[in-house]
Amino acid sequence: MKLLHTGDWHLGKRLHGLDRREEARAALEEITEVGRAHEVDAVLVAGDLLNRRHVDPVALGDCLAVLEGLARLGPVLVAVGNHDDPDLWNALRPYLVARGIHIAGRVQNAGEAVVSVETRAGLLHAALLPWPEPARLRTELGTSAQLSKATYADLCRAVLDDYARELRDRRQREGGAAVLVGHLMVDGAVAGGGEREMTMGITYAVSPHALPTDLDYVALGHVHRPQAIRSGGAARYAGSPLALDFSEDNHDKTACVVEISGQRTTFREVPLVAARPLARIRGPIDRLAELAAAHPRAWLLCEVELEHAVLDLVRQVRTEVPDALRIEPRYPAAVPGAGGADGGGDAPVRPLPELYEEWYREQDRALSPRLRKAFEQALADADANAADT
């Protein structure tokens, strides 16, 4: 049995104001083509389909179109993520299941969470574990003396144990393969960088040893860097299909094709190249174009080395590098003991009117006394308003 594992699409996400809709659609079409080329029997989607719970209808429409396209390859099994609105996806379940797309928006009991579907290669049992929200998890599991004082990690482990037990029972009774699809933060996973920071800490993490080791595969979402988890079983993050933040410029994007043969599971990472990569460059303004040439398809973060402030820095950089999305000035580090008259290490601060006049000179223009006076008056008014508030 062959499975396509994907997730963390974050449809609707903008990057420094850039709408990357066409890139995201191209990346997901590329993933669909990977599944088609490898003749997969089912698709596992491990959450964060959309970037915001406040739904963008355009992004939602794109997402539904992708899911329907994947369903033409085989059954699609989805566990939603922390960026997804669980109630929206639960409401869409009747529409989706009629199209071969099985989705879980909330944590359910094991009997409801495990879905058994027929594929071309035989029966597949999949437990769907959406993001376990700490504020709701205890309620969703029900109250008991044993769980009343349990930690978040303990509660997640209890869910994983119940799901694994149900999967093992079904596989023993009915045959077929057993997998778990979960949107989880596993302790020890290496973050990609673009994930939501508040959900990446130890407070929300489960131990890798909590993951069941006797299932055929554990498909994980939430971490954007593709990687295997050292849990003793076949557990893996597929990663995001395109770099979502400049902190994700240091690893490749891939689709994961999983093959289950008897009691052996193998996987293959297939490179994804449809979306434009992200890259960082650093240097003075007059070298940025040369540095950018080494990244011909990339959106760029430019760290600009400057001796002093440049008032129209963004315009100058984008003239040299049109694909610069983010521009950050970098100044020389202060030398201890050098600088101000008080013997401190900080260089004296140049007044804004002086910098303004210097900028005029760089444009081959002279700052008239009238304009300089108006500039100084605007600064004084701003200081007065700040003092009043």
pLDDT of residue 198: 47
In the prediction, which pLDDT does 343 show?
46
Residues 173 and 231 in one domain: yes
Flag whether 370 is in a domain. no
Q: Are residues 216 and 325 in the same domain?
A: no
- Number of compact structural domains in the chain: 2
Domain match, 161 and 286 both = no
Closest among 288, 208, 217 to 4, alpha carbons compared: 217
Asked if 182 and 136 sit in the same domain, the reply is yes
The CATH number that applies at residue 10 is: 3.60.21.10
Domain for residue 379, yes or no? Answer: no
Whether residues 293 and 221 share a domain: the answer is no
Do 202 and 58 belong together in one domain? yes
318 and 181 part of one domain: no
> pTM of the entire structure?
0.82
Q: What is the pLDDT along the chain (389 residues), one digit of tens a residue?
A: 999 999 999 999 999 999 999 999 999 999 999 999 999 999 999 999 999 998 899 999 999 999 999 999 999 999 999 999 999 999 999 999 999 999 999 999 999 999 999 999 999 999 999 999 887 887 776 655 455 567 888 899 999 999 999 999 999 999 999 999 999 999 988 876 655 554 555 678 899 999 999 999 999 999 999 999 988 889 999 999 999 999 888 788 999 999 999 889 999 999 999 999 999 999 999 999 999 999 999 999 999 999 988 889 999 999 999 999 999 999 987 655 555 444 444 555 677 887 877 777 776 677 788 888 888 888 887 877 766 65
> Are 116 and 167 within one domain?
yes
Residue 358: predicted pLDDT? 77
Let me know if residue 376 belongs to a domain. Answer: no
How many CB atoms neighbour CB 380 within 10 A?
10
| Residues 240 and 298 placed together within one structural domain of the fold | no
- With respect to residue 135, please indicate whether it lies within any of the assigned structural domains: yes
Q: Which amino acid is at 134?
A: P
Does residue 264 share a domain with residue 142?
yes
So what's the pLDDT on residue 186? 94
What pLDDT was estimated at residue 268?
94
Whether residue 251 is contained in a domain is answered as yes
Residues 316 and 257 in one domain: no
Taken as a whole, the chain contains a residue count of 389
Range of the domain at 308: 276-332
